Amino acid sequence: MLKIENLRAEVGGTEILKGLSLDIGAGEIHAIMGPNGAGKSTLSYVLGGRPGYEVTGGSVTFDGQDLLDLEPHERAAAGLFLGFQYPVEIPGVSNVQFLREAANAQRKARGQNPLSGGEFLKLAKEKAGLLKMDMEMMKRAVNVGFSGGEKKRAEMVQMGILDPKFAVLDETDSGLDIDALRVVGDGINAIMRESGKGVLLITHYQRLLDYVKPDFVHVLAKGAIVKTGGPELAAQLENEGYEAVAA
Ligand code: ADP
Ligand code: MG
C-alpha cells in the first residue's frame, strides 16, 4: 500500500530524513514513535507534499503509484489522508461548508458525481455521530475556538467523510483528555480499521495504542527507522525511554 524506500528530505537546507524505509501493507496499522525533533512530522509533511520539504533521495510508492510525483491534491484524490499535529483554523467557513467542498472536490477528481446538500448532511451526521460531535459544532467555523480535543475530533470527522484508503495521523492524541482519547481511538477503529484501511499513527505516547492496536511499532530517531517491533515495543519505550531502547 505505502512503500517508502531510503527516503531523504531537507527542510531549509538541513537534512532531516536520512534514509528512511518503511513498508506498510494494505489494511495494516503501523505506529511510529520517537523523540522530539526526530523527523516524525517532517515525514508526514513530505508524504503530503508540503512546500518547503525537499526530497533529495529515495522513493515513495502509494498503491503502485509514484507518490512523490503527484501534487498534494492528487495525493488526496488517490486516497491519502493526512491529519496534522497542529490543525489550522479557518474563520468564516463552517465545518459543513468546508467538508462538503472538500468531499466534492475529491469526488470530482475521482470522476464521481457531487453529493447534494441532503446527501452530504446525511453523511456528515453519520460520521459526526461516530466521533460524538454534535451538528451544532459542525456548523461552527473550522476549528475556531475549538479545544485541542475538539480539533482532533473534527479532523477525524473529516477523515470519515473523505473516506481515504490510507491515513497518516500526526500526534492525533496530543491535547486529548482520557475521554476524548477513547472517542478518537474508537473513531479511528470505526472509520479505518474496521473497513480494512491502513493507518500510520505518529505518536509520543503508548496510550493511544491501547485503543488503536498497531500491527507494528517503529522507532524513528535522527531521521531513520532504528527499530521495529510489535505492540510490546511501545510498552517497552514507555517504560524505559527512547535512549535505552533505541540507542
Ligand atoms: P518531530 O515531529 O519528530 O518532533 P519534526 O519533523 O517536527 O520532528 O522536526 C525534525 C527536525 O527538523 C527538528 O530538528 C526541527 O527543528 C527541524 N525543522 C522542522 N521544520 C523546520 C524548518 N522549517 N526549518 C528548519 N528546520 C526545521
Ligand atoms: Mg511532530
Q: Report pLDDT digits (tens) over 55-106.
A: 999 999 999 999 999 999 899 999 999 987 778 899 999 999 999 999 999 9
Number of residues written out for the chain: 247
CATH number of 2-246: 3.40.50.300
pLDDT in tens, 11-37: 999 999 999 999 999 999 999 999 999
Mutational pocket test of ligand 1: of 15, 16, 18, 46, the residue with most ligand atoms within 8 Å of the beta carbon: 16
Q: What ligand is nearest to the CA atom of residue 45?
A: 1
Distance (Å, rounded) from C-alpha 107 to C-alpha 99?
Answer: 12
Q: What pTM was estimated for this model as a whole?
A: 0.92
Span from the CA of 173 to the centroid of ligand 2 (angstroms):
12
Span from the CA of 41 to the centroid of ligand 2 (angstroms):
4
Q: In this predicted structure, what is the pLDDT of residue 83?
A: 87
Distance (Å, rounded) from C-alpha 236 to C-alpha 138?
Answer: 39
C-alpha cell at 87: 490543525
Rounded to 5 degrees, φ, ψ at 20 are -95, 130
Distance (Å, rounded) from C-alpha 225 to C-alpha 247?
Answer: 12
pLDDT band at 247 (very low <50, low <70, confident <90, very high): low
Q: Give the residue among 86, 120, 94, 93 at the shortest CA–CA distance from 106.
A: 120
Q: Give the residue among 130, 169, 129, 127 at the shortest CA–CA distance from 152.
A: 169
pLDDT band at 224 (very low <50, low <70, confident <90, very high): very high
